[in-house]
Structure 1
């Protein structure tokens, strides 16, 4: 999804928010066209969460917010993505996304509206277009991918947009984020929500970040910290509070402010938590896939990312990458012939047979062309039932690839069928609601939780009680089963 564009003819356009004329290098028609073209790629990468009622609910809340925005004439499309990542972002032209992973950690309709309002603020102020103009002025020939998706923080997105560059990780910048906060708070107030819900969302994300950093330190790995939505300021930021406080002038006197906690929690009942069954489930460093009746194991400490069409894994040193894909076997080819004839890998070196138990395979080394240039690689194919599992490992140079070869081969050789006892491990976990009847502590609830790692902390995060809070009798809380 990399769009190489010739420089769009520049011109002045009225900013929908400020009403001032500004120089931009993209027309609204081009902005809408980019959003349409990119939407399909986002759905292909993440998948749309399969719950029509939840999708409709998020769309209704989003439409309520954007109908009070500075660009009410746009048709806004709000989509819940089937991803456990904690993320939300917007494409040009009114395409706004929130992951089920982020939904799980929110605790009211007002907080959901705050997330959607913030992203709508980026759209209405045309931040992506303004950033594109600034980037083009600084460096001709940038790809649009490096500009329009600054909040896509995931490794999967980084793989998909391999030429994006550093702009992907940097967010919109503090001034644009503050403007999105201000606009989102304004839209919240005009829609009947308390604009202070934005502070609540920031607290949720900051708590999640704190926990992830502590967990990463304990596990001796790099933290998977989200750098998009609201990431440029803490929840006690004085300037942020001032910006959000300005929205109070839009509140109608005598009207109650919508919180919508019970309604929101009801919508979350049954939400998939963590990996989905459809894409396979990762438990620790072992992957289970129910439909494929397959399991395989990665080296301890490797970071594994599960995408609809592939698995990717990296060691904590980030000096190598392993990608796993699957293809149907349509002709009776030997594994060596599959690599040569099907994948057109005619220049393999050091070829030899390999086995995963009694499953046949073949491997060889080759030069791999990546976004970082040419790297030394190893390809392995393992036949399992009527599928070919293709493992492509790459490192920065041949010496590093040789050091990683045992890891690449060990993963491929771990492929096998699941046992009967392992099949429940391939089922997705889901959120359910419980009303606390008596004094209860998360440490006690965690003993019965299927969450494998840090269940007490995870339950506190899910319910807005991190780091030391406890539920009170009568509270409805989210648990996992």
Structure 2
């Protein structure tokens, strides 16, 4: 099966781009890449285990496994390039714009930079990346597309595509909780909290993650805990390594019972705060490099201190975001249109991302935008 996500549909700007993604994934299937990767992964693990057992050396086994991972990464990159090539050919033969793959690769690269705004990137150090660098893929995609003619050859089908995604859900649903700028809301659990300025929230299936300047990271999740269990006993039960027992502090956040503590490990210092809400414990873990000038306690206290229960009125008012297609009028700009977006941080950047805008591109009167 090939699965199409709402995020993909929101990022694409025409039917040709979606066709290019589907053709790329079909290329993986046609070339049996999934089966080949499984075989190579099994072989790499076996090689590492054999070396470790024969030489009775864990370090030798780890070295063999590392070599296997490096080979797998290279193999995966080759698979991506092969799928790109066959996908672009299929897209062009189907009558779509063959340059759509290059456009969508650019959009994905822009999305990656948008999401990782505070993470240092050095592609030269990314030896184990399973996908080739975006510039390399875009360059090769352009070469393959030119076999079908100059840019503008083939169907794009932009207007019909935009009409099709009008009203589509954007981002998370009520079951997953909502990210609204620097605020996280979960109407089902009835909770909310905020992260500091400059942080970006990522709502994953396992936890809510937030990253900020200086390699600062925050993790939020929840676990069940009987009301009879002590929060102090829980925080010292072993799930946090490097905990400093002398730092444990009982406190109240609003009218909720809470306990916080400090921990350290490697090059990071941590602040752990657990908050009880009936039979549930919500956990904040804030990590900061030891060399940082910022205070982990100050950041953690601000985040945990923002935690509170939602009122019934707030739960009712929370609604999912939806994509709206608008026609630009004379005088509209990126700022004027992006200011109409709700629940989004860095609005101009998100508008440019969704609409495949270069920094110097201007809004055109009469054109349709997401």
TM superposition score normalised by structure 1: 0.57
Distance 1:329 1:385, change over 3 A: same
Cα distance 1:193–1:171, how it changes in 2: closer, same or farther (>3 A)?
farther
Pairing partner for 1:189 from 92, 99, 106: 92
Between Structure 1 and Structure 2, how many residues are aligned?
342
What SS class does the counterpart of residue 2 from structure 2 fall into? strand
| 1:105 to 2:8 alignment | no
CA contact (8 A) 2:180 2:343 kept: no
- Report the alpha carbon displacement of residue 134 of structure 1 after superposing the two structures with TM: 6.5
List alignment gaps of at least 5 residues for structure 1: 1-76, 81-98, 144-162, 249-255
Structure 2 distance, partners of 1:305, 1:419, is 24
Instruction: Give the one of 260, 265, 280 matched to 1:387.
Output: 280
Indicate yes or no: 2:134 matched with 1:232: yes
1:167 and 1:364 map into 2 onto residues whose CA distance is: 39
SS in 2 for 1:450: coil
1:79 is aligned to 3
1:420 Cα deviation after fit = 7.9
Q: Distance in 1 between matches of 2:228 and 2:16?
A: 57
Alignment of 1:190-339 (within 5 A): 190-208=93-111, 212=114, 216=117, 221-222=118-119, 231-233=133-135, 237=139, 239-246=140-147, 257-318=154-215, 321-339=217-235
Residue matched to 1:354: 251
Q: Does 1:124 align with 2:36?
A: no
CA offsets 1:248-290 (integer angstroms, 9 cap, x no match): 7xxxxxxx95433334223312223344443223334332222
Partner of 2:338: 446
Paired position in structure 1 for 2:58: none
- Contact 1:182–1:247 under 8 Å retained in 2: no
Note closer, same or farther for the CA distance 1:193–1:228 as it changes in structure 2 (3 Å cut): farther
Q: Distance in 1 between matches of 2:198 and 2:208?
A: 16
The range that moved more, 379-388 or 331-340, is 331-340
Corresponding residue for residue 52 of structure 2: none
TM-score between the two structures when normalised by the length of structure 2: 0.71
Instruction: Mark the CA change 1:288 to 1:131 in structure 2 (over 3 Å): closer, same or farther.
Output: same
Cα distance, 1:356 vs structure 2: 0.8
Mapping 1:164-179, distance limit 5 Å? 175-179=78-82
Give, in angstroms, the shift of residue 431 of structure 1. Answer: 0.6
User: 1:407 corresponds to which residue?
Assistant: 299
* Structure 2 CA distance for aligned equivalents of residues 171 and 447 of structure 1: 43
**SS of structure 1 residue aligned to 2:324:** strand
Alpha carbons of structure 1 residues 240 and 437: separation in structure 2 relative to 1, 3 Å = closer
Whether 1:469 aligns to 2:362 is: yes
CA drift of 1:139 comes to 7.8
Q: Say if 1:328 and 1:206 are closer, same or farther in 2 by CA, change over 3 A.
A: closer
Residue-by-residue CA offset, 1:312-341 (whole Å, 9 max, x unaligned): 3344333x6543221234443343355468
CA contact (8 A) 1:348 1:364 kept: yes
Distance in 2 (CA, whole Å) between partners of 1:321 and 1:464 is 29
